[in-house]
Amino acid sequence: MDNLKTHPSASMPLPFPQNKGNVKPHRRTTPLLSTSPCSGDSLLEKKIPKYTLLTTNPETPGHIPVMGIPSDDVVLIQLPKGPSEPTVVTVNCPDKPGLGCDLCRIILEFGLSIARADFSTDGRWCYIVFWLVPNVSNSSRIDWESLKNRLVSICPSCLLPFYYFNQQGGDGNGNQNSTLSSSVYLLKLCCLDRKGLLNDVTKILSELEFTIQKVKVMTTPDGRVVDLFYITDGMELLHTKQRRDDTTAHLITVLGKYCISCELQLAGPEYESMKAFSSLPPAVAEELFSYELADKEASSKELKADLMALKKATVTIDNQLSPVHTLLQIQCVDQKGLFYDILRTSKDCDIQIAYGRFSSSLRGYRNMDLFIRQADGKKIVDPKHQTALCSRLKEEMLHPFRLLIVNRGPDTELLVANPVELSGKGRPRVFHDVTLALKMLGICIFSAEIGRHSTSDRQLEVYRFLLDDSCEFSLASSQARNRIVDRVRRILMGW
């Protein structure tokens, strides 16, 4: 941990790292935003110096013939002094579309919540500060060095492209070599069945920085469980024998006497055919993906009250405050991954965010102020576009997850669905959180799978869990189903 640099000030971070050696950025005295979004606004009244993006083209105005800033300065982490204080993570790098969403996804992968955030960009350079705390459902130790490496890996580089490509295996824009980053591996586990086994395996995979792309879990009549995990590696090292051997050895050690066999290999062509599972019955699909699901789903009175609070979310648009940006103001109930959902929706809607503040939770509610523009750099003035954007944001806040319990023949099935990004990337840790909730309830999972379902306007990731009815209470009772929905939704929402 000694090599983690601390930022000079957590309360008022510097806009850019101090100069080192011969690195002397070209400085202009204009504000970070070409025109101040709002006169006298406390968030933007400081005139932050603007720095010209380093370039290899000597004819580019403001060209600086240097290699760039060291990667250690791209992401700075200030560890908390006390257990109740947040960790401050500062990101300072060239900008790219969707960078904020990508950063928030990685933060969510590590089991962290964003307590607050500030960010600004001029379209070429961005500066972001996150105040992070562990999620309530995360009991794992946070590897801050790994988090830093993962965040750096998606940030566009200011180094010379050929140097960055040779050193990192990427294109210099935060995009790693496609051969490595897209490789899917198959983990085959055969274990003796026990309560909570699936969540324990999922927790181990999360700690090892693996992302579960597809799952097929089956229980045999003799009490054995066969788990097929199709995974990708956040560290992008599974192509090495050492990483594969270390992974299988760690799983065997942690699972102990319950582990019968463990194999890890590159996934074959069968992976593509498994991406979509057998289609959902039309009636089930209609109920699961309907906008009014929260009103109809089984839940307790306490959860219904929380869901009603979600509907109090307000999204307003103001074009009077800034001459060049549209001000988007959001107030809603606090929930896990909220900032990720907002940035994911903005990214999918091709909205550019020039400046934003994600305020701390106050009495369970969050406030966000975002200065935005369309992809063409213009304000959002079309009333239809404004209405569509506000409706989409409200829907994402009201329905980040859809839960449904149905009868599947003589068995009981839990369905959980959530939207995926247009890039195809799913929401992190959903499988972990659902299996954790079921483990806490003492409910055994007979089988599980992950697939994709497409509607007219989006794609969703659907998790299907066939539950074992031979547990402490009958799954056929409405009371039992209410308890399941309550616990699963609360874990997913961070309530």
DSSP E strands, 104-233: 112-121, 125-134, 185-192, 210-219, 224-233
- The larger pLDDT score, comparing residue 65 to residue 311, is at 311
The residue from 332, 363, 396 where one domain ends is: 396
Task: Give the separation between CA 167 and CA 289, rounded to whole angstroms.
Answer: 45
Residue 335's contacts (CB-CB under 8 Å, 6 or more residues apart) are 397, 400, 493, 494, 495
The predicted pLDDT at position 317 comes to: 95
Predicted confidence (pLDDT) at residue 47 exceeds the cutoff of 70: no
Best-predicted range by mean pLDDT (158-162, 194-198, 292-296, 351-355): 351-355
Predicted confidence (pLDDT) at residue 51 exceeds the cutoff of 90: no
DSSP E strands, 334-410: 352-358, 365-373, 402-408
Q: Which of 420, 403, 414, 426 is nearest to 455 (CA)?
A: 420
CATH, residue 45: 3.30.70.260
Q: Mark whether 45 and 153 lie in a shared domain.
A: yes
- The 10s digit of each residue's pLDDT in 305-357 is 666 666 678 999 999 999 999 999 999 889 999 999 999 999 999 999 999 99
The predicted pLDDT at position 472 comes to: 62
Among 75-79, 272-276, 332-336, which is the least confidently predicted range? 272-276
The predicted pLDDT at position 453 comes to: 84
Expressed as residue numbers, the domain containing 156 is 27-177
- The 10s digit of each residue's pLDDT in 225-250 is 999 999 999 989 999 999 999 999 99
Across the range 415-421, mean pLDDT stands at 92
DSSP H helices in 90-168: 99-109, 144-154, 161-168
In this structure, what token pair is assigned to residue 235? 């560290």
In this structure, what token pair is assigned to residue 71? 């990667």
Q: Is residue 97 part of a domain?
A: yes
Which amino acid is residue 138, in one-letter code? Answer: N
Please say whether the beta carbons of 73 and 92 come within 8 A.
yes
Q: Mark whether 57 and 164 lie in a shared domain.
A: yes
- The larger pLDDT score, comparing residue 299 to residue 44, is at 299
362 DSSP assignment: B
In this structure, what token pair is assigned to residue 73? 């300065």
51 DSSP assignment: E
Q: Is residue 20 part of a domain?
A: no
- The larger pLDDT score, comparing residue 213 to residue 455, is at 213
Average pLDDT of the chain?
78
Taking CA atoms, 124 is separated from 48, 68, 164, 171, 175, in Å, by: 14, 15, 19, 17, 17
Predicted confidence (pLDDT) at residue 117 exceeds the cutoff of 70: yes
Q: Is residue 305 part of a domain?
A: no
The predicted pLDDT at position 276 comes to: 56
Task: Give the separation between CA 327 and CA 317, rounded to whole angstroms.
Answer: 6
DSSP E strands, 223-364: 224-233, 259-266, 314-318, 326-333, 352-358
Q: Mark whether 80 and 39 lie in a shared domain.
A: yes
Predicted confidence (pLDDT) at residue 15 exceeds the cutoff of 50: no
Task: Give the separation between CA 250 and CA 146, rounded to whole angstroms.
Answer: 18
Considering the chain, what percentage of its residues have pLDDT values greater than 90? 46
Predicted confidence (pLDDT) at residue 383 exceeds the cutoff of 80: yes
Q: Is residue 219 part of a domain?
A: yes
Q: Mark whether 146 and 34 lie in a shared domain.
A: yes
Task: Give the separation between CA 356 and CA 392, rounded to whole angstroms.
Answer: 19
Which amino acid is residue 335, in one-letter code? Answer: Q
Q: Mark whether 449 and 471 lie in a shared domain.
A: yes
For residue 73, the surrounding DSSP H or E stretch is none
Chain-centroid distance of CA 187 in Å reads: 23
Q: Mark whether 55 and 168 lie in a shared domain.
A: yes
The predicted pLDDT at position 308 comes to: 66
DSSP 429-469: THHHHHHHHHHHHT--EEEEEEEEEE-SS-EEEEEEEEEPS
- The larger pLDDT score, comparing residue 471 to residue 274, is at 274
Please say whether the beta carbons of 156 and 238 come within 8 A.
no
Q: Mark whether 280 and 316 lie in a shared domain.
A: no
- Band of pLDDT at residue 82, cut at 50, 70 and 90: confident
Q: Mark whether 138 and 94 lie in a shared domain.
A: yes
First to last CA, the chain: 31
Across the range 210-221, mean pLDDT stands at 90
Residues in the chain: 495
Q: Mark whether 49 and 163 lie in a shared domain.
A: yes
For residue 270, the surrounding DSSP H or E stretch is helix 270-274
The predicted pLDDT at position 274 comes to: 65
Q: Is residue 223 part of a domain?
A: yes
Chain-centroid distance of CA 118 in Å reads: 17
- Band of pLDDT at residue 255, cut at 50, 70 and 90: very high
The predicted pLDDT at position 205 comes to: 94
Predicted confidence (pLDDT) at residue 16 exceeds the cutoff of 50: no
Predicted confidence (pLDDT) at residue 63 exceeds the cutoff of 90: no
CB atoms within 10 A of CB 7: 16
Taking CA atoms, 45 is separated from 11, 35, 37, 119, 217, in Å, by: 17, 11, 9, 14, 55
The count of domains in the chain is 3
Q: Mark whether 248 and 265 lie in a shared domain.
A: yes
Predicted confidence (pLDDT) at residue 49 exceeds the cutoff of 50: no
Q: Mark whether 86 and 171 lie in a shared domain.
A: yes
The predicted pLDDT at position 19 comes to: 38
User: Strand pairing of 125-134 and 87-94?
Assistant: antiparallel
Residue 489's contacts (CB-CB under 8 Å, 6 or more residues apart) are 299, 303, 401, 403, 495
The residue from 371, 396, 421 where one domain ends is: 396
Among 66-80, 442-456, 466-480, which is the least confidently predicted range? 66-80
The predicted pLDDT at position 292 comes to: 55
The residue from 396, 424, 456 where one domain ends is: 396
Which amino acid is residue 169, in one-letter code? Answer: G
The predicted pLDDT at position 176 comes to: 45
- The 10s digit of each residue's pLDDT in 432-470 is 999 999 999 988 888 899 988 887 778 889 999 999 876
Q: Is residue 317 part of a domain?
A: yes
Among 2-6, 152-156, 450-454, which is the least confidently predicted range? 2-6
Q: Is residue 314 part of a domain?
A: yes
Task: Give the separation between CA 221 and CA 204, rounded to whole angstroms.
Answer: 26
Q: Is residue 114 part of a domain?
A: yes
Backbone angles phi, psi at 151, to 5 degrees: -65, -40
Predicted confidence (pLDDT) at residue 44 exceeds the cutoff of 60: no
Q: Mark whether 322 and 273 lie in a shared domain.
A: no
Predicted confidence (pLDDT) at residue 479 exceeds the cutoff of 50: yes
Backbone angles phi, psi at 368, to 5 degrees: -130, 135
Taking CA atoms, 329 is separated from 93, 299, 312, 317, 465, in Å, by: 26, 31, 14, 6, 38
Q: Which of 55, 173, 50, 60 is nearest to 122 (CA)?
A: 50
Strand, coil or helix: 149:
helix
Considering the chain, what percentage of its residues have pLDDT values greater than 70? 74
Predicted confidence (pLDDT) at residue 294 exceeds the cutoff of 80: no
For residue 413, the surrounding DSSP H or E stretch is strand 411-419
Predicted confidence (pLDDT) at residue 9 exceeds the cutoff of 90: no
- The larger pLDDT score, comparing residue 193 to residue 25, is at 193
Which amino acid is residue 356, in one-letter code? Answer: G
